[in-house]
Chain A
Amino acid sequence: AQRVTQPEKLLSVFKGAPVELKCNYSYSGSPELFWYVQYSRQRLQLLLRHISRESIKGFTADLNKGETSFHLKKPFAQEEDSAMYYCALSGGSGTYKYIFGTGTRLKVLA
């Protein structure tokens, strides 16, 4: 079955601590992986995508095809990182599916 799994509904960390939001996927083919973020009272928006291999707001995510994972990491959490994070995948050429995980709420404590 094609799915995106985010095992943690809520993740609480202290300011300055490292953060890792887990994402595992199941998909036959070569999907494109994304992380989306939704801050309080703001629209859901793209945070980063695996093909760009860039760091956004200090966050990075590496696609591990062997483990079918795309975990989101940040070495030092900040209070403004508190938000809802969704992992998503987009099917490759020939399919148009876009699958989201159930999301992880990140709370960064002062």
Chain B
Amino acid sequence: KAGVTQTPRYLIKTRGQQVTLSCSPISGHRSVSWYQQTPGQGLQFLFEYFSETQRNKGNFPGRFSGRQFSNSRSEMNVSTLELGDSALYLCASRLAGASGEQYFGPGTRLTVT
């Protein structure tokens, strides 16, 4: 079956702009999580959506938001971009249960100039 897909793969934005990233989970997966990956901080959890509801949230400012649609596709939005937001943003999906393997997408590389 098709893996997790993320669009776009690369983005260049300037400070102050906003950006929307998209993630399509594996068919049948209802949980979608978002992570920020940087060389210095590693993998940091942003939030998780399940059945269109956010059920977990990491320690990121309110500029970072997300949503999930009825088909389980998810979007992440970052407003008022800062240079420090430059990172690889990863999306992961898993089945409905609490535990289990997460399947990761290839990521969206965001560069803020």
Contacts and interface: CB of A to CB of B under 8 A. Distances in A.
A46 B3 CA distance: 14
B12 interface: no
Contacts of B33: 98
Interface residues of B, number: 23
Number of chain A interface residues as a range: 20 to 34
A44 B90 contact: yes
Contacts, number: 53
Contacts of B106: 43
Contacts of B50: 96
B70 interface: no
Given A43-B105, A45-B104, A97 B56 contact: yes
A98 B45 contact: yes
Interface string A60-72: 0000000000000
A93 B104 CA distance: 22
Contact of A86 (B31, B43, B48, B107): B43
Given A102-B41, A102-B42, A103-B43, A95 B98 contact: yes
B102 interface: yes
Nearest to A33: B99
Contact of B98 (A93, A99, A103): A93
A90 to B, nearest CB: 4
Interface of A: 32, 34, 36, 43-46, 49, 86, 88, 90-103
9 contacts: A32-B100, A36-B102, A43-B3, A88-B102, A92-B98, A96-B56, A98-B56, A99-B45, A100-B35
